[in-house]
A and B are shown apart, each in its own frame.
Chain A
Amino acid sequence: MSLLTVSNLTKRYRRGGKVVTAVDDVSFHIEPGETLALAGPSGSGKSTIAGLVLRLIEPDAGRIEFEGDDFLALRGAKLRARRARLQMVFQDPLAAFNPRATVARVLDDPLRIHGIASRAERPRRIAALLERVGLAADLAPRAIHEISGGQRQRVAIARAIATGPSLIVLDEAVSALDVSVRGQILDLLLDLQSQERIAYLFISHDLGVVRALARRVILLDAGRIAESGDARAVIDAPQSAIGRALVAAAPRLKRTTQDAS
């Protein structure tokens, strides 16, 4: 059984009197412990799909099955309990966190809200989470705005794994990081995946990272699936127009200077 099955998902927005279909009849599935990537240009619907899967946005049509349940039908306590299994990491953790919070507070919230650890137990759990993502426990009292961007994204990952999720939506989660930090965060994500068997819905505009990280990829164009399949096969030989355009546009290290043309 798939971990997540999305069927015929559709979301329309009204913008200046016009109806824009941001996500148009999209279906896909994610298996336990695998990474599925969503890639596409701006406005192709990547982040809207993330919001729909997380139920931050309600769809106009379609069905989402998560861990065997009709996720869109869950309400109240059942929905809250299931949310612990479905977590998220966004591009900019500074925007995602309360800017006045400390690192400890950011990690204390999910442990408390989901009733995972008692008050007395939580400091120890927070220290363990920090250690799990490669941070020192003495970072806990620091303000979230004081630490570096790479440290903040590690805290965001610690917050996401605090509730024991089976799926994490990573929406451009490494896009704003310096390249030297990005590699470390990708290593951490892979390590967590192999240890805890967490599946990732990895949303990125960067085909190089997608190809290196994901098993399968879906290429989106204007809210529709243009192409999908094995990540390396799709990116090495794209069949769709958008796939070819994305591959052609990806920056490549050039060893020789080209003449201006």
Chain B
Amino acid sequence: MSETTFMGVERDKIDWKPAIDYTKCDYCMECVKFCSHKVFEVRETEDIKLIVRNPNNCVVFCRACSKICGPDALSFPDKNATSQRIREIRKEESNG
């Protein structure tokens, strides 16, 4: 399911994944049901019952899970900084 590249850049080099604010998360698991890319993982028996298991599966620039999060517990990196970083990596790689 995971994308290997995004805009020609290895996905692993792009820092784009949701951050969970555990002070807000109420473990409703709507994000788990919502995300078809299996970014999240439920850990029923642990104290922290939800983690970001597959960050590289997360679609770069997609923030849809945060849009459906009732307690507003999900956040993402800055889009401008991320697109700038992608440009830089592309430039570095094309130079060499």
Task: Tell me if chain B binds chain A.
Answer: no
Which residue numbers of A lie inside 8 Å of B, CB to CB?
none
